[in-house]
Chain A
Amino acid sequence: GAVVSQHPSWVICKSGTSVKIECRSLDFQATTMFWYRQFPKQSLMLMATSNEGSKATYEQGVEKDKFLINHASLTLSTLTVTSAHPEDSSFYICSASPGAGDEQFFGPGTRLTVL
């Protein structure tokens, strides 16, 4: 099956720093990538939909200036959590879809802990 990688898999940072998370589709081109956040024992929450070469579409309640998304190529999207605070600590998961209506393939996730 299609493979999606994420880096880093685990990050601990101090409050106020910015953290960048990379999501790559390794063996297919992904016009669209998705960023999710998941708190313990809760469901995935879609943060934004990222289309290559255009601005991301953010879900209601997600601050676009706080969570910067860049989708520079058909195989790479990045999420930058700016000025991270402890409440941003969560499991961030990206996914990529080869085409509209196709299944999503998920990255392994990035566990962010902000001290």
Chain B
Amino acid sequence: RKEVEQDPGPFNVPEGATVAFNCTYSNSASQSFFWYRQDCRKEPKLLMSVYSSGNEDGRFTAQLNRASQYISLLIRDSKLSDSATYLCVVTPNTGNQFYFGTGTSLTVIP
């Protein structure tokens, strides 16, 4: 079983729509969680960390569900510039190993 699993999509949504991605992880002892964004032919960039209580940054909301072992990313009022691949990242409770999901492709359509 993979450490991290994501629906690869693609998700094609109209401008202004709300879209949500989920990512499941297999190690119940995982400690840190992140969402990264990767544009085509560019390096991944940190979008936001995911905290136990959930956190929001503008139009983006991240949540963690430890009981069901998944994290989610909600994007409200989608913009064309949100089109990218979104990667979830999970780290175990020891060491520096990061486990990446395969990424979810989002295209926001005018």
Contact = CB atoms under 8 A, between A and B. Distances in A.
Interface of A: 1, 31-32, 34, 42-44, 46, 49, 91, 93, 97, 100-109, 111
Interface residues of B, number: 22
Contacts of A46: 98, 100
A24 B8 CA distance: 31
Given A103-B32, A109-B42, 5 more contacts: A43-B103, A100-B96, A103-B34, A106-B45, A109-B43
Contacts of B49: 103
B46 A105 contact: yes
Interface in B81-110: 87, 89, 91, 94-98, 100-103
Given A43-B103, A44-B87, A104 B45 contact: no
B96 to A, nearest CB: 5
B100 A44 contact: yes
Interface in B37-73: 41-46, 49
B87 A43 contact: yes
A104 B42 contact: no
Contact of A101 (B41, B44, B91, B103): B91
A34 B98 contact: yes
6 contacts: A42-B102, A43-B100, A46-B100, A97-B98, A101-B31, A103-B49
